[in-house]
């Protein structure tokens, strides 16, 4: 099957970079990235220094392919009609109400997307799940498509995205593996082949793994759970280090040199953030509970609980350093994004830690090199539950680069290189990217 037109529904952190790379590598395929967010599409079509997603290397690719074979639009109907292959890259946040609230993934955007595909499709389509989804969602999507449109054949594939934000382009160029889950039927095999041929343009064939749909869906949840579990494991040990005087960085190095363990994802931190880890683990926990696997559910739930414990522990270290009362203290928060080189702050530890410091009475300046001021204010409003009028007396968002103003404490919550070389009193630095430095400092203080 020759693919000439691809449509991607969802122009976010996954859809935008992934389609830009496919467009670059497959110049003969037209790629239509659509979204129902008018402002977002306007920004994708606007100046390269203001794209909705910040990723190193992304704007250079968009510059080459936008208007050539990559197009951004709000015209979902015509993009679906024209394309032989449709990627679903819409967001799947944790449910906030109804059955499974706080745990299960909210599939309302996926369902809306499937309804659109059913409504506008006039010929056979390959539909690809790109968003992280609960296992067996492909079945649900197929159900919606087949029930609402029996005139055409829909072949569903699962092709989870493993890119990490901040290194998305690098990850897409040199993926460890590409996973394609599909049916064993002749139509399923043809669809897998069509998608595989796209990736084969730049990914070695031996790195393209084909599985059944459910294995592919569950592999994504399992990958993220295993990665997050390593961070919670090392973070839990950082608490013990603080009590014993061992150095968590030395421990990371020592255990990571065992080739069976390996060095990655062993960096102690204030907590993992981002749109995936917590959501995917909670999703996994919900799934295990659903199948009556309560011990398994509890095992994975503990990864999220340790993450919450670490955030709180870090915030309490700062508050206790000032004797529990931060009124009249001026604190500089360095970093709002959940990691360096992204403008994404979803589930960032900074949101939580800053709230605790604010509630202890501090005056706070916030600086992040990538996250726009309006996003920070939006997080404060939505996640803290305070109106902007309430906080504006004690919160100020700095736009300019790093300040040398005098603060009572400097709290580093995102691992930007610039923050490592702060020219300030090191005794006033609370480094959430290396919690043990801060712990040593706390131990030093109490002696």
Residue 113 CA neighbour count, 13 Å, CB half: 30
Of the candidates 419, 423, 371, the residue with the CA atom closest to the CA atom of residue 399: 371
Choices 203-211, 264-272, 322-330, 389-397 (CB under 6 A): range interacting with ligand UDX: 264-272
- Active-site annotation holder among 125, 276, 279, 415: 276
Strand partners, 178: 208
- Number of chain positions touching ligand ADP (CB under 6 A): 20
Does 227 contact ligand UDX by CB under 6 A?
A: yes
Is 276 tagged catalytic?
Answer: yes
- Give 308's contacts (C-beta < 8 A, 6+ positions apart): 271
Among ligand ADP, ligand UDX, none, residue 89 binds (CB under 5-8 Å by kind): ligand ADP
Q: Which helix (H) or strand (E) holds 86?
A: strand 85-88
Known catalytic residue at 161: yes
Site membership for ligand ADP, residue 275 (CB under 6 A): yes
Q: What are residue 398's DSSP bridge partners?
A: 367
In whole angstroms, the minimum distance from the beta carbon of 269 to ligand ADP comes to 21
Binding mask 115-134 for ligand ADP (x = CB under 6 A): ----------------x---
Pick 62 or 225: Cβ nearer ligand UDX: 225
CA–CA separation, 63 vs 54, rounded Å?
14
CB of 165 to ligand ADP, least distance (A): 8
Which residue, 52 or 188, has its beta carbon nearer to ligand UDX? 52
CA distance 12 to 167: 15
Q: Which of residues 342-381 bind ligand UDX (CB under 6 A)?
A: none
241 is catalytic: no
Instruction: Tell me how far, at minimum, the Cβ of 252 lies from ligand UDX, in Å.
Output: 8
Stretch that binds ligand ADP, among 7-15, 195-203, 325-333, 415-423 (CB under 6 A): 7-15
Contact 246, 444 (CB under 8 A): no
Cα distance between residue 328 and residue 408, in whole Å: 10
Segment near ligand UDX (CB under 6 A); pick from 73-81, 93-101, 272-280, 284-292: 272-280
Count of residues making up the chain: 447
Is residue 195 within 8 Å of 167, Cβ to Cβ? no
Return the range that interacts with ligand UDX (CB under 6 A); candidates 38-46, 188-196, 274-282, 369-377. 274-282
321 interacts with ligand ADP by CB under 6 A: no
- Integer CA distances (angstroms), 101 to 106, 218, 274, 286, 434, in order: 9, 20, 19, 10, 33
Q: Which does 91 bind (CB under 5 to 8 A by kind): ligand UDX, ligand ADP, none?
A: ligand ADP
What is the rounded distance in angstroms from the CA atom of residue 140 to the CA atom of residue 157? 12
Q: Which does 231 bind (CB under 5 to 8 A by kind): ligand UDX, ligand ADP, none?
A: ligand UDX
Q: Is 339 in the site for ligand UDX (CB under 6 A)?
A: yes
Cα 154 from Cα 158, distance rounded (Å): 13
Residues 6+ apart with CB under 8 A from 328: 361, 363
Active site (catalytic) residues? 161, 220, 276
Binding positions for ligand ADP, rule: CB under 6 A: 9-15, 35-37, 40, 76, 89-91, 109, 112-113, 131, 275
């Amino acid at each position: 099957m020759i693919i000439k037109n691809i449509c991607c529904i969802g122009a976010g952190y996954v859809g935008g970079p992934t389609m830009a790379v496919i467009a670059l590598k497959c110049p003969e395929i037209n790629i239509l990235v659509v979204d129902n967010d008018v402002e977002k599409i306007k920004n994708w079509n606007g100046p390269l220094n203001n794209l909705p997603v910040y990723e190193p290397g992304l704007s250079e690719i968009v510059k080459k392919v936008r208007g050539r074979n990559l197009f951004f639009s709000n015209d979902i109907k015509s993009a679906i009609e024209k394309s032989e292959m449709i990627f679903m890259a819409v967001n799947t946040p944790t449910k906030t109400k109804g059955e499974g609230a706080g745990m299960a993934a909210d599939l309302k955007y996926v369902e809306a997307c499937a309804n659109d595909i059913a409504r506008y499709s006039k010929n056979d389509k390959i539909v690809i799940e790109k968003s992280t989804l609960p296992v067996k969602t492909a079945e649900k999507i197929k159900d919606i498509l087949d029930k609402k449109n029996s005139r055409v054949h829909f072949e569903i594939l699962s092709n989870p995205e493993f890119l990490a934000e901040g290194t998305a382009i690098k990850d897409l160029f040199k993926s460890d593996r590409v996973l394609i889950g599909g049916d064993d039927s002749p139509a399923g095999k043809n669809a897998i082949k069509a998608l595989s041929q796209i990736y084969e343009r730049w990914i070695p064939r031996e790195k393209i793994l084909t599985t059944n749909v459910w294995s592919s869906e569950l592999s994504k949840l399992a990958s993220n759970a295993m990665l997050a579990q390593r961070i919670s494991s090392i973070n839990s040990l950082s608490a013990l280090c603080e009590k014993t005087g061992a150095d968590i960085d030395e421990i990371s190095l020592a255990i990571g040199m065992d080739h069976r363990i390996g060095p990655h994802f062993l960096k102690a931190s204030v907590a993992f953030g981002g749109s995936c880890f917590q959501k995917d683990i909670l999703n996994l926990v919900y799934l295990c509970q659903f199948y009556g696997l309560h011990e398994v559910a509890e095992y994975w739930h503990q990864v999220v609980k340790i993450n919450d414990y670490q955030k709180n522990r870090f915030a309490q270290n700062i508050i206790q350093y000032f004797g529990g009362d931060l009124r009249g203290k001026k604190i500089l928060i360095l970093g709002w994004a959940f990691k360096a080189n992204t403008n994404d702050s979803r589930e960032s530890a900074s949101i939580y830690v800053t709230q605790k410091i604010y509630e202890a009475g501090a005056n706070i300046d916030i600086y992040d090199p990538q996250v726009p001021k309006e996003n920070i204010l939006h997080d404060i409003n939505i996640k803290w539950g305070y109106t902007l009028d309430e906080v504006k007396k004690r919160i100020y968002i700095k736009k300019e680069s790093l300040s040398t103003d005098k603060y009572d404490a400097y709290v580093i919550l995102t691992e930007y290189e610039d923050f490592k070389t702060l020219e300030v009193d090191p005794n006033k630095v609370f480094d959430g990217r290396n919690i043990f430095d801060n712990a040593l400092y706390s131990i030093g203080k109490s002696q």
